Amino acid sequence: MTTTVPRHRTAMARTALSRPLDGALDDGILDGATVFDFGCGRGDDLRRLAALGIACDGWDPAHRSDAERRPADVVNLGYVINVIEDPAERQRVLHDAWALTQRVLIVSARLTWDARGLRGRAVGDGIVTSTGTFQKFYAQQELRVWIEQTLQAPTLAAGPGIMYVFREPTAAQALLVERVRRSSQPPEPWVSEQLFHEHQSLLAPLIDFLTQRGRMPRGDELAEADAIRSRFGSTARAHAIIVAATGAERWEQLRKRHAANLLVYLALALFDRRPRFRDLPAAVQHDVREFFNNYKDCCAKADRMLLMAGRQDTVDLACCTSPVGKLTPTALYIHTSALGHLPPVLRVLEGCARTLVGSVPGTNLIKLHREEPLVSYLSYPDFDTNAHPPLARAVVVNLRKLSIDMRDYNRSANPPILHRKEEFLSPDDPRRPRYERLTVSEERHGLYRQPERIGTREGWRQVLDQQRVHIRGHRLYKSRNQFPAI
């Protein structure tokens, strides 16, 4: 790297693992992997990775210039390309990092919303800030296209301003499948509550497999299969015992949900060059054979679902008929834990947005717009503990323009707040009864008579004061003289 501007000044002192590596940790990409931090700055990430027992090393032109550049399973190019003022050098650095990558390259850069309020003068395709450092700000899709064109390799959005580039196509597909499966929470409590005591430990691995995949295991997919066959004669007989004890209807619903998961995954995989059947992970190949006639038929159904997700009238109808979520005149709001209960077309719509933006940290509510191709990822950090939590941040994905925008409410004196939290959750969510009791109490005290007033924190506070009540936890109390802050 050349030094026409003082790039070393952009190296941040971190008190936690950087966002790209923290996300990779959550995605399981760092499990059992070696990591090389290309442009590691002061080495804060290296120290934290080492403390987690992850083999790592790094190089930086200013702070670790004598270190050797070594190949690694995972190479992190974290917020490096955005500080390089020469476009040709940016490409060389990306190629250099890719050359060291054995499994996954993580590339991150600052996005256009980071430039808001930043003072500087235009230089080339970026700006030189008041501290003399250069910054090139990317749009999400611009970053993705630049990486793919430079490396001639497909990318997978990991988050806002963060992209994964995989060496092996099957690894990327495995992560995509896992993302879809993560959004579909299987009904576990009813299984554990109804297991027979006598054979609980023996049947538990099979029940876990059925819950995770919605089908019987094939080949050597279940390590405990021999022990189960020895006791019950066959895994099919063991399966029949489980179904008889716990109810066939629930397992059939689970099977349908996993079939829908597969369609959602294949619909979204079209954006990243849908793999050939032989390039799918073995478990996914078994899923295709189990749930559909063949791969061609499965892909055709996925294509139809993707087409339907692009029609606003279909999206609106799906929002209106969704069995979960809070419906308003303009949108359907849903808690992330209930995504798996959405109609498949809405899951594809949300998946399209996630393909563009990746995982948005802190998101716990998702807003599916009924009138425009927009998906908003909303962060309410106090959702579980605050009866009426304030909105902290919203990331809005525009699927027509292929753009993303962020709105920060952390400094707002009067942010929007939530009511009727139970409506965002799935019907079997254990939090619902507690939230519902509070809603009933609030309705009984007339707090919802003027809905136009209570959408913000200050408006809600005024209504509480007028009705001489206050809320602690998720219970409503009559107030006397002092009104505590909510």
Please spell the DSSP secondary structure of 118-158, one letter per residue: --EEEETTEEEETTS-EE--B-HHHHHHHHHHHHTS-EEEE
Final residue before a domain boundary, out of 373, 408, 443: 408
Measured in degrees and rounded to the nearest 5, phi and psi for residue 129 equal -80, 175
Looking at the fold, whether 33 and 146 belong to one and the same domain comes out as yes
Looking at the fold, whether 225 and 264 belong to one and the same domain comes out as yes
Name the pLDDT band for 188 (thresholds 50, 70, 90). Answer: very low
Contacts of 485 (CB under 8 A, 6+ apart): 461
Tell me whether residue 176 is exposed, middle or buried, using C-beta atoms within 10 angstroms of its C-beta: 0 to 12, 13 to 18, 19 or more. buried
Q: What is the pLDDT of residue 2?
A: 43
Query: Is residue 139 assigned to a domain?
Result: yes
Looking at the fold, whether 192 and 230 belong to one and the same domain comes out as yes
Query: Which strand (E) or helix (H) includes residue 235?
Result: helix 235-246
Count other C-beta atoms under 10 Å from residue 382's C-beta.
Answer: 13
Residue 483 predicted with pLDDT over 50: no
Query: Is residue 483 assigned to a domain?
Result: no
Q: What is the pLDDT of residue 15?
A: 63
Looking at the fold, whether 163 and 31 belong to one and the same domain comes out as yes
Distance CA 432, CA 425 (A): 7
Looking at the fold, whether 141 and 45 belong to one and the same domain comes out as yes
Q: Which CATH number goes with the domain that contains 82?
A: 3.40.50.150
Distance CA 198, CA 315 (A): 48
Query: Is residue 422 assigned to a domain?
Result: no
Looking at the fold, whether 158 and 15 belong to one and the same domain comes out as yes
Distance CA 165, CA 101 (A): 9
Residue 462 predicted with pLDDT over 60: yes
Looking at the fold, whether 81 and 131 belong to one and the same domain comes out as yes
Q: What is the pLDDT of residue 51?
A: 84
Q: Which residue segment(s) compose the domain that 365 sits in? A: 312-408
Looking at the fold, whether 177 and 101 belong to one and the same domain comes out as no
Q: What is the pLDDT of residue 196?
A: 52
Distance CA 198, CA 125 (A): 69
Looking at the fold, whether 195 and 48 belong to one and the same domain comes out as no
For 364-397, what is each residue's pLDDT tens digit? 999 999 999 999 999 999 999 999 999 999 999 9
Query: Is residue 416 assigned to a domain?
Result: no
Looking at the fold, whether 293 and 175 belong to one and the same domain comes out as yes
Final residue before a domain boundary, out of 283, 309, 335: 309
Type of residue at 182: R
For 200-257, what is each residue's pLDDT tens digit? 788 889 989 998 899 999 888 999 988 988 887 778 778 877 887 777 888 888 888 8
For 134-146, what is each residue's pLDDT tens digit? 899 999 999 999 9
Query: Is residue 242 assigned to a domain?
Result: yes
Q: What is the pLDDT of residue 183?
A: 65
Query: Is residue 420 assigned to a domain?
Result: no
Distance CA 158, CA 358 (A): 4
Looking at the fold, whether 221 and 100 belong to one and the same domain comes out as no
Final residue before a domain boundary, out of 309, 326, 347: 309
Looking at the fold, whether 355 and 473 belong to one and the same domain comes out as no
**Most confident stretch, 17-31, 45-59, 365-379:** 365-379
For 273-306, what is each residue's pLDDT tens digit? 889 999 899 999 999 998 997 999 999 999 999 9
Look up residue 315 and give its two tokens: 């999206």
Split into its structural domains, the chain has a count of: 4
Q: What is the pLDDT of residue 346?
A: 95
Query: Is residue 245 assigned to a domain?
Result: yes
